[in-house]
Structure 1
Amino acid sequence: SKDYAFGSGRLRRLVNFSLAPHDRSVVAALARIVAEEAERGDAVALRILEESSRALADTVWDLVDLLGMHGETYPLVAGGSLALRSRVYWKHFCAHLAEKTPFLKPVRAPWPPVVGNALVLLLQLDPQNASRTRARLKETVRAFYSPTDSSP
């Protein structure tokens, strides 16, 4: 039996917590903490990000295999908070993805998904002014968000 520094009672509560359903905001808050600790070099946090990035890359591989997309070059746009905000996670994810699917080119979405949703709606409302609408939305969004760097 491994002796954990934080005690078996805390470990039991942690396991129970991990198995219970939670609001996405709770999980997102914990993910931010893990990402911050990984940036500081915490071994457990680094392992969590490495393993979770490998799991997602494996899921991408399964989808590529299922759809028969082998060898075709596609961009793979990431939009989740870990992919967008954690350099450690992104670096591991890109490395794992390159192992099996070097033909996929991972990029991080420069804007939050809501911007794409807004653009689709605006273009449906005023299709004749697509260029102007796109430019105005981009200008407006820049006032609130800074685009992410898409490099690993």
Structure 2
Amino acid sequence: MTTLTTPRTPAPASPRPVIPAPERSDGWRQLIDTVKESGQYPTRAEAESVTRVVLSALGGHVVGDERVELARALPEEAARVVASQIPATRSLTAAEFVDSVAARIEGATPATARWDVSSVLSVLPALVGDALVTRVLAHLPPGYALLFGRAELAPAQ
């Protein structure tokens, strides 16, 4: 039996470089390590748990183009957590948002939940860019900027 082989033609070169998949998935590990350090969590597992809870809470409150762009900018696993949330029916104040996170974490108090929320959200600007965070904040009620590690300036009256 004779097998015929046809020469393969190389695929056409793509006009722009493609980011390899492992780099994006490694971003989840880096995000968790950064949150672990930021929040001074004793284990990666605790930092990962807190990150999932905070990102899922945030995912329900970021909508429209900002939600799409946030998901694109985040590591793959984080993007799934954000994008899988059903949009909230009403906006929460920053304090209500923290309380909603506290309700999702066993044994959390408003103070520990604020720490958890800030530990996660304050690392996002370096990861997704200040411009995107500014746009996200523009669609959230006042008070969220502090959770992202930013000063929130009130307009002069």
TM-score scaled by structure 2? 0.30
The structure carrying a bigger strand percent of its residues is 1
TM-score scaled by structure 1? 0.30
The structure carrying a bigger helix percent of its residues is 1
